Structure 1
């Protein structure tokens, strides 16, 4: 720790994502305060001896007049950010059970906004991972094995028909570059017809060679080669990670999310070492990006992943038709 880091105290801030009718309550910061004029999520400092949940209940009531049952709060993401003159830890929790009609009790304008209308430039930099978390689903679907490209497409169509998925990572490690790009080109309209976005898997050139792809998922071997974000900010960028060092690299190149695992043993690699939920939660607490748990997880594991601060789960078995 440097002298400056030792002198700058970290401020613990409780942040509320209040959701109603799939819209989020947003306020505008007064012009005279730090980061004045920008939009923000309701919240404030956690007082000494106060739990983050109690702080949220208090702050929400003071700022908006809404009453929030403490038990309704669920963890979303934790973000550490250094502004230079101050360091903050944003402890972000969500509720769908706020009671009453909101008002700007401190004179600040408040409004309900669709998450798709939230723009990075309108918020303080530390808030931007929250926007990612709100836009990402709780389930990141990954394609499984198939005997051929044609069978992959049929299983993709069947899987999307059987369960609603917002994002699909097209993983086909056995395919060469041209074959994979051909598969991806065929998968894009299938996903679009089901209301899902297709994220291609591999090197950056795969993304640029797949019109209609909504993002790129980098396996670690590709992420390690990057010195900066390799695709536009308008597309999703994900990275496969296994430890804190890899998460740091993903953050450095501007990843919007990471997958982290294996959390549990998998059918394909039952002897591979796993990290378990405790280690997963520890790594998530230090990650300033949404994190999907990966490895041997089913929909039954989703509540635990969320409780550990994760975005949700990523995987194959919860949606991919094997037969």
Structure 2
């Protein structure tokens, strides 16, 4: 169990692993092992009492992260906790710190805890621009994306295959000040060089998942386009922050392509050690189904833009 304590200001509590422990010095979300037969909520309450000296109120499940440290395998079940009775103390850790989730350096976290932080700070919706927009629609596309930012979208992918690469980069640069002011993130589709130059994120295509190093710094989001467990494993090895899995349902553009369905999506999401968005035939009404199936939420095109 891992406890994600969130205070009224939206900060999260991180604990530093003590000397002599595995991953000493790394920061993590406090928690520990369930006892045999112990309910998740009870085990979380017991562990946080032992580690932080607090009694917590009810928690809310956030994500489950399967992980392996060498031969040691674990399933990290993370719950958000917003109510407790006293100031947490580092009874079993070297130190504690409260931090803005968006300001945390992922490189300082224990590897299994990175997915927990990403699940906390990633939204449940991931709109992708329509692929059939022509280059002449630059201004209309900019207005469409500004409207999306205005209505609260916080993760947007610029996928405009008909446009010259430089025009896509120019659009991203044009939108970047407003996106940053709203706490939103822009991702370019497949354009690692452009993402590096602009300081934005990238959505990697499946063919780009064969690399051996994360293509961007930890403060620039990396998404991965996946279709099966092997691609999800490659995305994790590459250090991706999240993945899309498709096609979950029938799409208007490719009705002949076989779909995964929710049961297969749920199996892939449960086995993945990073947040996963359902993609393909999604509408806003599918967010809860995706969440119930173990996903971070939904990604899509027509379901977000109405076209």
TM-score range, shorter chain: 0.7 to 0.9
Greater shift, 211-220 or 174-183, is seen at 174-183
* Cα shift readout 1:91-115 (whole Å, capped 9, x = no counterpart): 2322244332243373544443221
Instruction: Measure how far apart 1:60 and its partner are.
Output: 2.5
Maintained 8 Å contact 2:188/2:201: yes
The 2-side partners of 1:218 and 1:37 are apart by 31
Check 1:111–1:194 CA distance in 2 against 1; reply closer, same or farther (3 A cut): closer
Match of 1:155 in 2: 144
Match of 2:62 in 1: 75
| Structure 1 runs not aligned, ≥5 long | 1-13
Selected match of 1:127 from 96, 113, 120: 113
Match of 1:316 in 2: 301
Which one scores higher on RCO, CA 8 angstroms, separation ≥ 6? 1
Check 1:125–1:95 CA distance in 2 against 1; reply closer, same or farther (3 A cut): closer
Selected match of 2:255 from 270, 273, 276: 270
SS in 1 for 2:21: coil
Instruction: Measure how far apart 1:235 and its partner are.
Output: 1.6
Is 1:57 the counterpart of 2:45 in the alignment?
yes
The 2-side partners of 1:311 and 1:143 are apart by 19
SS in 2 for 1:146: coil
Structural mapping, 1:1-323, within 5 Å: 14-21=1-8, 22-64=10-52, 65-69=54-58, 72-82=59-69, 84=70, 87-104=72-89, 106=91, 108=93, 109-144=95-130, 145-147=132-134, 148-161=137-150, 163-189=151-177, 191-192=179-180, 194-208=182-196, 211-224=197-210, 226-320=211-305, 322=307
Question: Cα RMSD over matched residues?
Answer: 2.7
The 1-side partners of 2:181 and 2:193 are apart by 25
The 2-side partners of 1:141 and 1:200 are apart by 12
* Cα shift readout 1:43-99 (whole Å, capped 9, x = no counterpart): 111222234343223322333322232xx42131313122x3x51314232224433
The 1-side partners of 2:181 and 2:89 are apart by 41
Greater shift, 91-100 or 252-261, is seen at 91-100
Check 1:180–1:27 CA distance in 2 against 1; reply closer, same or farther (3 A cut): closer
* Cα shift readout 1:107-136 (whole Å, capped 9, x = no counterpart): 544443221343334332332322333332
Instruction: Measure how far apart 1:142 and its partner are.
Output: 1.3
Check 1:66–1:88 CA distance in 2 against 1; reply closer, same or farther (3 A cut): farther
The 2-side partners of 1:181 and 1:123 are apart by 31
TM-score by length of 2: 0.85
Check 1:186–1:122 CA distance in 2 against 1; reply closer, same or farther (3 A cut): closer
The 2-side partners of 1:192 and 1:106 are apart by 38
The 1-side partners of 2:166 and 2:249 are apart by 33
Instruction: Measure how far apart 1:260 and its partner are.
Output: 0.9
Maintained 8 Å contact 1:158/1:321: no
The 1-side partners of 2:64 and 2:169 are apart by 34
